[in-house]
């Protein structure tokens, strides 16, 4: 004990260090919670486009008919090392683009590729538990069934996650609206323009 005191490690020092660490953990937790809200995401004007697209998509509401929050899709469920890593990376990327970039000239093609890396299958599966039926409870097409069987490892295997096959379900950039697979979604944007 006497030797520890000589080196400067007293009980008082450890208590101060533990207190400072606890305060930092609490502050970090509060900051992460506050910046994970949809209102925090939408505080940056460049996110308004994403909000408008989501409102017109089939994913405007979750399985409980509640509005989908940004974090439901874009952050891992639960708090842990993966959540913290994704949160820090995404947050710093967004702050960098907002502060030093030109938000009106964001490259949506590049953003799509990056965003798909942060759409976790667990988040999709929170609402889409039965992969052999569509959201209306109807059986899937034969191609859909084969693809989901491969995803589940029953019929071969696929390295693709949910977002690898199901693209543009919540957000639909202008350049993707021409594809026939997005026609129904894109029509909602055309109607919105006509009604203005």
The Cβ of residue 50 has, within 10 Å, a number of other Cβ atoms equal to 19
Cα–Cα distance, 150 to 156 (Å, whole number): 5
Among 4, 25, 26, smallest CA distance to 12 is for: 4
The 10s digit of each residue's pLDDT in 4-46 is: 555 567 888 899 999 999 999 999 888 888 888 999 888 888 8
How much is the average pLDDT of 166-189? 86
Per the model's pLDDT, the better-predicted residue between 194 and 140 turns out to be 140
Residue 98 contacts by C-beta under 8 Å, 6 or more apart in sequence? 44, 46
Mean pLDDT across 156-171: 83
pLDDT band at 195 (very low <50, low <70, confident <90, very high): low
pLDDT digits (tens, 9 = 90+) for 130-144: 888 877 778 888 888
What mean pLDDT comes out for the span 124-128?
A: 89
Identify the residue with better confidence: 181 or 124. Answer: 124
CA 103 – CA 109 distance, rounded (Å): 14
pLDDT value at position 196? 55
Average pLDDT of the residues in 154-158: 78
Reported pTM: 0.75
Q: Averaged over 156-179, what is the pLDDT?
A: 84
The CA distance from 20 to 47, in Å, is 35
List the chain domain ranges: 1-34, 46-194
């Amino acid at each position: 004990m006497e030797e520890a005191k000589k080196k400067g490690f007293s009980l008082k020092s450890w208590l101060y260090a533990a207190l400072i660490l606890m305060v930092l953990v609490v502050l970090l937790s509060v900051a992460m919670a506050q910046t994970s809200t949809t209102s925090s995401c939408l505080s940056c004007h460049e996110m308004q486009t994403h909000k408008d697209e989501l409102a017109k998509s089939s994913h405007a509401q979750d399985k409980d008919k509640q509005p989908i929050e940004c974090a439901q899709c874009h952050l891992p469920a639960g708090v842990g090392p993966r959540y913290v890593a994704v949160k820090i990376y995404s947050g710093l990327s967004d702050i960098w683009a907002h502060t030093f970039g030109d938000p009106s000239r964001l490259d949506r093609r590049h953003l799509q590729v990056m965003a798909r890396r942060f759409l976790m299958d667990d988040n999709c599966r929170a609402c889409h538990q039965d992969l052999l039926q569509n959201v209306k409870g109807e059986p899937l097409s034969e191609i859909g069934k084969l693809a989901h069987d491969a995803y589940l490892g029953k019929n071969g295997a696929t390295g693709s996650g949910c977002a690898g096959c199901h693209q543009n379900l919540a957000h639909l950039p202008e350049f993707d609206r021409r594809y026939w697979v997005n026609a129904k979604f894109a029509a909602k944007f055309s109607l919105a323009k006509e009604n203005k």
